[in-house]
C-alpha cells in the first residue's frame, strides 16, 4: 500500500467510524515507517475534519459524530505511545481539563499526550470541569501549569471564570494555557491566560516555555 493509500484508508476509517479498522491502519502506517505526527495530522485529524464538515452541513448527525469519535479514540490507543516517545523528558506537573459544560475530550486528550511527551506529569480532570475543581487540584498538589480546553463558543467563558477563581483563591496561581477550535490568541490575551495553543503540539511547546521561564 502506498503512503497516500494508507493515510486515505485511515481517514475513511475515522469518517466511517470504523473502530476496528482505524487502529489497524495506524499499525499499518507505523509498520510502513510513517512518523506519528504525520499519521495524526494527515490521517486521523484530516478524517475528523471531514466529520466536522459533514456535521456542519447537516449530512452527519450526533450518532455518526460519536461513532467517529470512538474510532478516533481506538486509533489513539495505538498511536499515543509513539507520540510520547518522540519527545524528551522534562520535569513539571500540569493539570488538564475540558471546561464546565463541555464534553469534547479528543483535543484535550491529545494535549495531555503531548504534555506527557514534553515531560510533564499530567493530572487529567476529564471533561465538564468546574472552576472549583481546577482550583482544588492546584491546592492538592504543587501544580506548575493548568491547561484548559473548550470546543463550544458557549463554554469558552468558563475559561475566564476558572482563571479568575485560580487568581482569587490561590496565593501563587500557576500559569494557564488555553486552546480548542473556537479559541484564539486574542481571546487568551483578553481573559489573561498566560498562553494559547493552536494545536496540541504547539500547546505543549508553549507550556514548556512557560515552565522553563518559571524555572
By the criterion CB under 6 A, which residues form the site for ligand B1M? 45, 48-49, 51-52, 55-56, 62, 65-66, 69, 101-108, 110-111, 147-149, 151-154, 177-182, 197, 199-200, 203
In terms of Cα–Cα distance, which of 100, 171, 105, 160 is closest to 138?
Answer: 171
Q: Which CB, 34 or 188, lies closer to ligand B1M? A: 188
**Cα distance from N-terminal residue to C-terminal residue, the chain:** 48
Bridge partners of residue 96, in order along the sequence: 124, 147
Pairing of strands 195-197, 92-98: unpaired
Give the whole-angstrom CA distance, residue 157 versus residue 47.
29
Considering the complex, what minimum distance in angstroms separates the CB of residue 141 from ligand B1M? 18
Give the whole-angstrom CA distance, residue 194 versus residue 170.
16
- C-alpha Rg value of the chain to the nearest Å: 18
Considering the complex, what minimum distance in angstroms separates the CB of residue 81 from ligand B1M? 17
Considering the complex, what minimum distance in angstroms separates the CB of residue 40 from ligand B1M? 8
Backbone angles phi, psi at 61, to 5 degrees: -115, 175
Considering the complex, what minimum distance in angstroms separates the CB of residue 110 from ligand B1M? 5
Considering the complex, what minimum distance in angstroms separates the CB of residue 199 from ligand B1M? 3
Q: Which CB, 57 or 88, lies closer to ligand B1M? A: 57
Q: Which CB, 34 or 162, lies closer to ligand B1M? A: 162
Considering the complex, what minimum distance in angstroms separates the CB of residue 2 from ligand B1M? 25
Q: Which CB, 29 or 156, lies closer to ligand B1M? A: 156
Q: Which CB, 30 or 69, lies closer to ligand B1M? A: 69
Give the whole-angstrom CA distance, residue 206 versus residue 196.
7
- Residues in the chain, how many? 215
> Residue 178 corresponds to which cell in the numbers above?
488555553
Q: Which CB, 3 or 37, lies closer to ligand B1M? A: 37
Amino acid at each position: 500500500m502506498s503512503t497516500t493509500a494508507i493515510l486515505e484508508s485511515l481517514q475513511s476509517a475515522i469518517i466511517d467510524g470504523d473502530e476496528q479498522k482505524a487502529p489497524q491502519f495506524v499499525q499499518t502506517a507505523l509498520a510502513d515507517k510513517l512518523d506519528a505526527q504525520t499519521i495524526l495530522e494527515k490521517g486521523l485529524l484530516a478524517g475528523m475534519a471531514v466529520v466536522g464538515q459533514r456535521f456542519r452541513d447537516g449530512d452527519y448527525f450526533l450518532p455518526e459524530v460519536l461513532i467517529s469519535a470512538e474510532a478516533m479514540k481506538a486509533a489513539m490507543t495505538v498511536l499515543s505511545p509513539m507520540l510520547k516517545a518522540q519527545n524528551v523528558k522534562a520535569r513539571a506537573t500540569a493539570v488538564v481539563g475540558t471546561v464546565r459544560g463541555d464534553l469534547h475530550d479528543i483535543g484535550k486528550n491529545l494535549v495531555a499526550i503531548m504534555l506527557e511527551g514534553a515531560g510533564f506529569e499530567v493530572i487529567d480532570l476529564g471533561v465538564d470541569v468546574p472552576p472549583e475543581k481546577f482550583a482544588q487540584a492546584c491546592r492538592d498538589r504543587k501544580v506548575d501549569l493548568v491547561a484548559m480546553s473548550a470546543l463550544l463558543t458557549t463554554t469558552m467563558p468558563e475559561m475566564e471564570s476558572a482563571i479568575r477563581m485560580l487568581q482569587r483563591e490561590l496565593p501563587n496561581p500557576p500559569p494557564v494555557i488555553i486552546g480548542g477550535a473556537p479559541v484564539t490568541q486574542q481571546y487568551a490575551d483578553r481573559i489573561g491566560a498566560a498562553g494559547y495553543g493552536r494545536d496540541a503540539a504547539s500547546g505543549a511547546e508553549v507550556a514548556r516555555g512557560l515552565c522553563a521561564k518559571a524555572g
